[in-house]
Amino acid sequence: MIIKLSLFFLIGSLIIDPTGDFYSLKYLSAALALLVFGANLIMHRKIPTLNFFQVLIYLTFALIMPLYGLLITFLNSGLNKISDTSYLGFSSFLLILFPAIFIEAKTFLKILIIALRVLSCITVLILLSFLYDTDSLGIAQFFIDKKSMLVGFREYGGIKTYFLYFTAAPLLIILVAYDAYNLYNKITLGNIILCFISICSIFLTGTRFNMLMAIIILPTIIAVYNFSIGKIWLYLTLFFIFLIILSQSSFISSFFNSNDNSNSVKIGYLETYTSIFKDPKVIVFGQGFSGYDNSVLFKNMLIKFENEGVKTELTFIELYRVFGVIFGSFFNLVLFSAPFFLYK
């Protein structure tokens, strides 16, 4: 029980406090988890069996990723100009929490779902507080002050809505998929309510990709688990009908409007990435962790679009920019295949 509680504290704090500004919960939970997981291994004097993919995933992101990034950074400019420390911070956290890899994947998933459920409910409650009492309790302002949430308005297809974006909000996609799968297996009032709340919380993040994923997850689950060669034409027909319906929706079509400020920024990013990848050395080996300081194109792009960070939110492309096509492809492959091997 204490292991599960410490794991919940760790996951919950990482979701609510990914930056470490929330009373240092991120660091306190990591220290507690390390102590509890380590003590558990010592007391039982038996190392649980790990499968190949657990080891591969851990070594990939805890050791291979940072070491290769440091090597390329050293070869490009030395190690005195490491502008992007996010990868190193992530890998260091994994190394510190090494005992956590012995926790069963199913146990980890259950606790992750509980933590995401809390985040989902908090998001919906904040919306209700705005609608009924203009956040007189200061719930939203509390999270804003702790730098874990952004609040504002976004407009799609003439519909203006709040967006309540927690830093860890993209993880809510996991919760939507989990609830959609449960709803597919058993249609009950409880499952309908849980799925509805998780989808609402995703829409409240205000991000296009999250909204689209929330819309297509349940139809995708239904198609996958009912797939048969004999019905392939039926599935294709339904798929195209679904696309036509989406394209006729002004709300959905506005997601892809190139005149939208967010979309125009991403288009600008892609144009610059194309220029950056024209350098054979970059496309093969990557820029390492010093791209912001060493690449005039990349730095000017961030300045032009008023990005105050040292990288963009286009994670998939960023992995190629930082690590090159060989290692970037490897990291993306491990990242996308991990759920299939851990939770099969």
Alpha-carbon distance 291 to 153, whole Å?
Answer: 33
Nearest 5°: phi and psi at 76?
-80, -40
161: which strand partners?
154
On whether the CB atoms of residues 179 and 186 are closer than 8 A, the answer is no
Task: Give per-residue pLDDT as tens, 214-247.
Answer: 888 888 887 777 766 666 676 677 777 766 766 6
**DSSP assignments along 258-285, one per residue:** TTSHHHHHHHHHHHHHHHHTTSHHHHHH
Q: How many CA atoms, within 13 angstroms, populate the side-chain half-sphere of residue 89?
A: 10
Q: Tally Cβ neighbours within 10 Å of residue 146.
A: 15
Domain ranges of the chain: 2-105, 107-226, 269-342
pLDDT per residue rounded down to tens, the chain (344 residues): 788 888 888 888 888 877 777 777 878 888 888 888 778 777 776 666 677 787 888 889 999 999 999 999 998 877 877 888 888 888 888 887 777 777 777 888 899 999 999 999 988 888 888 777 666 667 777 887 777 778 877 766 666 777 788 888 888 999 999 999 999 999 899 999 999 999 999 888 877 778 888 888 888 887 777 766 666 676 677 777 766 766 666 656 655 565 666 667 777 888 888 888 998 999 999 998 888 777 888 888 888 777 777 788 788 888 999 999 999 999 988 888 877 766 55
**What local confidence, expressed as pLDDT, does residue 69 receive?**
92
Amino acid at 5: L
Amino acid at 140: A
Task: Give per-residue pLDDT as tens, 21-34.
Answer: 777 787 888 888 88
Question: CA of 229: how far to CAs of 173, 202, 237, in Å?
Answer: 29, 33, 14
Q: Is the four-CA dihedral 275, 281, 282, 283 of positive or negative sign? A: positive
164: which strand partners?
151
Q: How far apart are the first and last CA of the chain?
A: 25
